[in-house]
Amino acid sequence: MAHARRKGGKPTIIEPGSPGGGLEQQYGGGHTGSWVGHLPASWVPYIQLARLSPPAGVFPVLFPHLFGVAHAAMLQQAPLTHAARVGLLIAVGSFFLSNAIHGWNDLIDAPVDKLVARTRGRPIVRGAVSPRGALIFTLSQCLAAGAVLLTLPNVVAWTTIPGIIGNIYYPWSKRHTHLAQFVLGFCLAWGVYVGTAAMGVDPRGDPRTPTTCLFVASVLWTVIYDTIYAFQDIADDEKIGLKSTAVLFRDWTKPFLWICLSCIAALLAAYGQLCAVRLGFYVMAIGGCLSSLGTMIVKVDLRDPFSCWWWFRYGFWLAGGSIMGGLLSTYVL
């Protein structure tokens, strides 16, 4: 489906995949707009590799970590200054972790990225970044994230291990299982436990159940937006044998997403009861998720790659912000 955009006051029709506005702008490796255009040319491929423009690739990593920080701060009634300091450290660590994750994914995915229309222009595939350069970049970001760990409680180090293992495996999950979105959800949502540990709360201790509710809700949130993201490439994925929930459910995808959203609402309600949260949590977290993700599911056209990209890029912000706002409403107010 074509989309109209204005240029010089006149509408311009841009087909998904066309130069200047199509698939190469959708994390396909060709995005050079906005602030990226002011950087040295040698930096641009690494910005593209790390998915830093637009920054939607960073926040799926950051949000669950911040959920964990806010959750633990609420349980401990921690001073706001302490929670803010930990949140800032977590944000810095998440930035480097996100860079490492995307670099690793592109390194492993390069052989299949060249077979997919949207991703064949990514930096490694087109030769702008060598595999060796991508590996060095990834390792440097891992070291930077590890340096942040040194500033946090010791319990954080072992808490990160399941997430690290999951992130190493994730690029291969698309070859092995249609439930790759659940694998990604596990990897990203594990940040809930890391954020909780960063506040000095041992995730192995009590109260484990509300933390688990928040974790599973975050997994399902990831499944929703990444299933929509996966529809951008569904035709190519089917041709080359890659798997996803998009490929698995096809015409039944929206009912599946509604089930996921219903489970998110139930899990957040259970979390609220277990933690005796304020009314604001129910209004902001549950109401916000139902309205924002519900709108996403209704409005997205899964047959249109640009629609899938638009809702992925913008649609998850409200849900993440709603959950964060709900947690803060109980902690701060």
* Cis upstream peptide for 64 (omega within 30°): no
pLDDT for residue 193 is more than 80: yes
Question: What band does 77 get if pLDDT is binned at 50, 70 and 90?
Answer: very high
Architecture of domain 3-28+55-331: Orthogonal Bundle (1.10)
Choice between 189 and 48, residue whose per-residue pLDDT is larger = 189
Residue 205 has pLDDT above 80, yes or no: no
CB count within 10 Å of CB 242 equals 21
Long-range pairs for 42-47 at CB < 8 Å and ≥24 separation?
44/128, 45/123, 45/128, 45/129, 46/123, 46/129, 46/137
pLDDT for residue 192 is more than 90: yes
- With a cut of 60, say whether residue 202 has pLDDT above it: yes
Q: How long a stretch of residues is the chain?
A: 333
Rounded to the nearest integer, the mean pLDDT of the chain is 89
The share of the chain scoring above pLDDT 90, in percent, equals 77
Q: What is the pLDDT of residue 36?
A: 76
CA–centroid distance for 302 within its chain: 19
Q: For residues 153 and 198, is the Cβ–Cβ distance under 8 A?
A: yes
Closest CA to 26 of 69, 6, 56, 4: 56
What confidence tier does 316 reach under pLDDT thresholds 50, 70, 90?
Answer: confident
**Res. 275 pLDDT band, cuts 50 70 90:** very high
> In this predicted structure, what is the pLDDT of residue 54?
76
Lowest-pLDDT choice from 44-58, 248-262, 294-308: 44-58
- Locate the domains of the chain by residue range: 3-28+55-331
Instruction: Please give the C-alpha separations between residue 306 and each of 12, 25, 221, 281, in angstroms, as whole numbers.
Output: 15, 10, 21, 33
> Could you report the per-residue pLDDT of 108-123, keeping only the tens digit for each?
999 999 999 999 999 9
Residue 207, pLDDT score: 65
- Band of residue 32 on the pLDDT scale cut at 50, 70, 90: low
Q: Is the pLDDT of residue 26 over 90?
A: no
- Residues 154-164 have pLDDT tens digits of 999 999 999 99
Mean pLDDT of 228-247: 96
pTM listed for this prediction: 0.90
Question: What gap in Å lies between CA 158 and CA 146, rounded to an integer?
Answer: 12
